[in-house]
Chain A
Amino acid sequence: MTTCNYDPASLPDLLPLYYRRLFPFSQYYRWLNYGGVTKNYFQNREFSFTLRDDIYVRYQSFSNQSELEKEMHKLNPYKIDIGAVYSHRPNQHSTVKSGTFQALEKELVFDIDMTDYDDVRSCCSAADICSKCWTLMTIAIRILDRALRVDFGFRHCLWVYSGRRGVHCWVCDDSARRLPVAARSAVCEYLSLVKGGEETVKKVQLSDPLHPFIKESLAVVEHYFTQYAVLGQDILGSREWGSSMGLNSVAQVRKDLLSYFQTEKNPVKRWERLKTLVNQRRSTSKKGVHAEKEIMLQYCYPRLDVNVSKGVNHLLKSPFSVHPKTGRISVPIDLRELDKFDPFEVPTVSLICEELDHSKREEDDEEAKENEKAAGERRRIRDYKRTSLAKYIKVFDNFLDGLERSRRGELLQKSDLQKDF
């Protein structure tokens, strides 16, 4: 594991190197500029930086890539957040007439954080994660990505590891970026199945008929459930299994299980039994017929931080920002390799700086010959390619290519339409 050699105290030394040599500025700009189709789209975008000692600067904005670079080289932010595209340049927000400075657009974003699953994972709690509970994030991505693409028709969903204990999703389609608050919150509600706070035990309630979205989501959960929940978390092994699953409402099932569990210790068999009992009820009573599905969803269904998604002007940690506590880079996740994604393999800033350092010595002389900005850019590409960051930047590149292709398609369509008239 690579975190062991990351020391938060070294951050002030590593960040300058990271931003100077490794941070993928050109891709970053290519992303947020969105082809330059809308005027001032990049210029009116809010960035905010967290500096040393939790000093927090909001409403930063930049005219172009090089201005952004310069500022980041100067400030070496501990954390970068991305906000909305505003009606005016955010860095001039205090000079515009009050009320006219407004957030206009932003990617539709989702934030899933492992702490929100504390009541249903026994392996870790709070900020800790392990490879066991990481399955929850895999499930979350599968379920949401499917729904965003198939149900809502979005095509450009960028999934990013937060650097510590969760994932973010940036839906970048034009139509998604333009969604008003009401639509964002409706999408969130559509996607939320687990409801209730500390005062609710049974957080999933299903009723007939099951919406296709729920069926699709269940299919995803089913794929992981036995391995992850029944065996991995041993959810039927804990003392309070009955009440924490909300089985109190189906007392008979609970009773039957209790006696069965006396002799049967095998978790998979226990779970099978529970399913059978619930299914048997189906013919006799309406109550609790979905109990086993509700349990599956309660334990595995993604838990969204709705507030982050609803607001157009809400900030979210940027891809390729460093997590100051773990040192890990917030990297895009390749969905084709999702099941293999391992958060503990994500490089830390100290690792990639070290990797760079190794390869650097050999060519210090070469470099001296090159100059100018273009050379700097070329060098940076060469630089990151030597580190374990490379494969994640590749994922990002692919994502950007996809965006570009759609944009070209749309432009073509538009010009075709114009010809028609």
Chain B
Amino acid sequence: MQFSRKRKVFSSAQVEYGHCLQLYGQPPLENITLAEFETFAVERLKLLKTVENLGVSFVKGSEDYQKKLSSEITNLNFPYKTEANDDRKQLTGPTEYEKRRKDHISHFILRLAYCQTEDLRRWFIQQEMDLFRHRFSDLPPKYKTEFLHRNDLQYDTISPDEKEGLMEKLVSSTYTVSGATVKEQDFYKVPFQDALDLVRLRKVFLRQGYAYIPHQDIVTIVLNDFRTRLSKALALTARSLPVVQSDERLQPLLSHLSHAYVGQDYSIQKNIGKVSLEQIDPLSAKSFPLCMRQLHRALREQHHLRHGGRMQYGLFLKGIGLTLDQALQFWRAEFVKGKVDADKFDKAYAYSIRHMFGKEGKRTDYTPYSCMKVILSNPPSQGDYQGCPFRHSDPELLKQKLQSYKVSQAGILQILELVKGMHYQLACQKYFELTHNIEDAGFSLNHPNQYFAESQRLLTGGKEVKREADAPPPRGGQSVRAPDALQDKPANPKQASAEITEDLDSLFQDD
């Protein structure tokens, strides 16, 4: 790709876009203006952020999700399946051609911006995959097949005999498939590693290490291919990046783009030292979100929390301003009331507290967990109190808990309704509104520390807390802001060491 300040000049090498969906195999060859470069990039970023937001507020693939995403694609003028039905002649027509060109070029621009760190890559791949999944799934069958042909994607199918023999198992492994439809469609046999999303959900039949995938789920395999290619490509791009970065016109733009989606990560402690240990009890009732209130209570009652809980709660406390010394004092005081004596605490647990503050090991400074992280990763198991109560509690228990916190009956119903629709963060926000006696929280909740900060702002009159706007703003009536996917995991080189040290801590668990 060449960039010029001058007016747009098409090089003769115009790309043919034969299908509305592409695997982005070839980089664009034409020259484009800096202005167009920027518009394309920003618009694709908008689209990817919408993808991310929708993934948080809705079940991926649900009707609402599909509808909202489709309309965003159309609004931003990216190619969409309806046009795939258009007459073939129109494919080179300005509109559809322009859209496909934009899809192509903008994808490659963001590759430049998002290849730089493991975190950026992960975020980018995730959103591009979700986008691709949506677009592919929405294609009429004929166009799916055409897409596979065009891109030379071939997968092994099983013979009718084998299918016959496995009939019952295939039917009961695949949700929407009946005996009749099993007969009709092809089944692909791939190593289970290539269909992890289906394996994870137990939505596919497995035998001897192979997954038997019905044609209707072929998107899974295609997506796996897409992911593999994209992550290889990003690694390559990263290597050529120094050249691009030396371009002083592009450098600031790219770095701006890659920072654009990051929300506040609550790792910078503006409030450090402003909370005293005595305040924690009252604060936990007034200003902690339920997840942290639950952990706090469990800690006070059990005088112990297991690893996952310690991380979630400890980092939150760090985020609201506890100093390292305070944190040590706080955890020690509680643990020694239980089965751990001071000596054992210093040996086995103090390390992990210091570690959270980046004072041990590789000195990774951990950031507090976002709601996304709490909700999606590390769900609680036996003996755990971590997680998000809206997501991980039995509705019945949640109801009792809300009752005991004096939430009105009507309020509880509203919250449970949101929980049922899997809008956990919205449910939490509703809880915020109800307990702070306000109509509309006026923010979209994506972080427990944000909950705390907003609560304090209301209760103390907004002296302490600043909010950062993150660009670009959500669109299409979205009420949930981009969660901070970025901060969730430290960058890879760091990550390796972070994991190591984290494990170290969990080793000292309870065996």
A interface residues (Cβ-Cβ under 8 A, vs B):
54, 56, 58, 81, 98-103, 113, 115-119, 150-154, 164, 175, 179, 182-183, 185-187, 189-190, 195-202, 209-215, 248, 303, 305-307, 311, 313-315, 317
Contacts and interface: CB of A to CB of B under 8 A. Distances in A.
Contact of A54 (B348, B494, B500): B348
A248 B386 CA distance: 25
B386 to A, nearest CB: 7
A67 to B, nearest CB: 23
Interface stretch (B56-64, B144-152, B165-173): B165-173
B493 A98 contact: yes
B499 A152 contact: no
B466 interface: no
B273 to A, nearest CB: 31
Contact of A212 (B201, B205, B385): B205
Question: 5 smallest A-B Cβ distances: which pairs?
Answer: A99-B493, A153-B209, A197-B380, A153-B208, A209-B172
Given A81-B507, A303-B381, A314-B503, A186 B200 contact: yes
Contact of A196 (B169, B380, B511): B380
Given A115-B382, A199-B387, A314-B506, 18 more contacts: A99-B494, A103-B499, A113-B511, A116-B382, A152-B208, A175-B209, A179-B193, A189-B199, A195-B381, A197-B392, A199-B394, A199-B397, A200-B394, A209-B175, A212-B205, A307-B307, A307-B378, A317-B511
B483 interface: no
A98 B491 CA distance: 12
B241 interface: no
B208 A150 contact: yes
A115 B306 CA distance: 13
19 contacts: A99-B492, A100-B493, A103-B499, A118-B382, A152-B206, A183-B196, A190-B200, A198-B380, A199-B389, A199-B392, A199-B398, A209-B175, A210-B172, A303-B381, A305-B381, A306-B381, A307-B308, A311-B503, A317-B511
A197 B397 contact: no
B209 A190 contact: no
B394 A99 contact: no
A197 B503 contact: no
B385 A198 contact: yes
Contacts of B8: none
Contact of A152 (B209, B298, B500, B511): B209
Nearest to A165: B511
Contacts of A99: 492-494, 496
A54 B393 CA distance: 36
Given A115-B383, A186-B196, A200-B397, A211 B392 contact: no
Contacts of A113: 511
Nearest to B309: A197
A101 B497 CA distance: 8
A287 to B, nearest CB: 15
Interface string B475-511: 0000000000000000011101101100110110011
B394 A201 contact: yes
A211 to B, nearest CB: 5
B143 interface: no
B385 A197 contact: yes
A118 B393 CA distance: 19
B359 interface: no
Interface residues of B, number: 56
A198 B394 contact: no
B249 interface: no
A315 B461 CA distance: 49
B173 A211 contact: yes
Residue picked from A179, A200, A214, A306, most chain B C-beta under 10 Å: A200
B499 A154 contact: no
A404 B196 CA distance: 29
A307 B172 CA distance: 29
Nearest to A120: B382
A364 to B, nearest CB: 39
B504 A58 contact: yes
A315 B503 contact: yes
B379 interface: yes
B173 A212 contact: yes
Given A175-B209, A199-B392, A190 B202 contact: yes
Contacts of B392: 196-197, 199-200
Nearest to A151: B206
Nearest to A203: B382
B384 A54 contact: no
Interface in B190-238: 192-193, 196-197, 199-202, 205-210
Contacts of B382: 115-119, 197-198, 303
Contacts of B161: none
Given A102-B496, A186-B200, A195-B379, A213 B384 contact: no
Contact of B381 (A100, A179, A186, A196): A196
B347 A197 contact: no
A211 B499 contact: no
B219 to A, nearest CB: 17
B362 interface: yes
B507 A315 contact: yes
Contacts of A195: 379, 381
Contacts of B156: none
B172 A212 contact: yes
Contacts of A303: 381-382
B110 to A, nearest CB: 23
A98 B172 contact: no
A231 to B, nearest CB: 24
Nearest to A54: B347
Nearest to B197: A186
B318 to A, nearest CB: 21
B384 A197 contact: yes
B362 A98 contact: yes
Interface in B354-380: 362, 378-380
B196 A182 contact: yes
Contacts of B393: 199-200
Contact of A198 (B192, B384, B396, B398): B384
A209 to B, nearest CB: 4
B450 interface: no
Nearest to A98: B493
B504 A248 contact: no
B294 interface: yes
A317 B507 CA distance: 10
Nearest to B492: A99
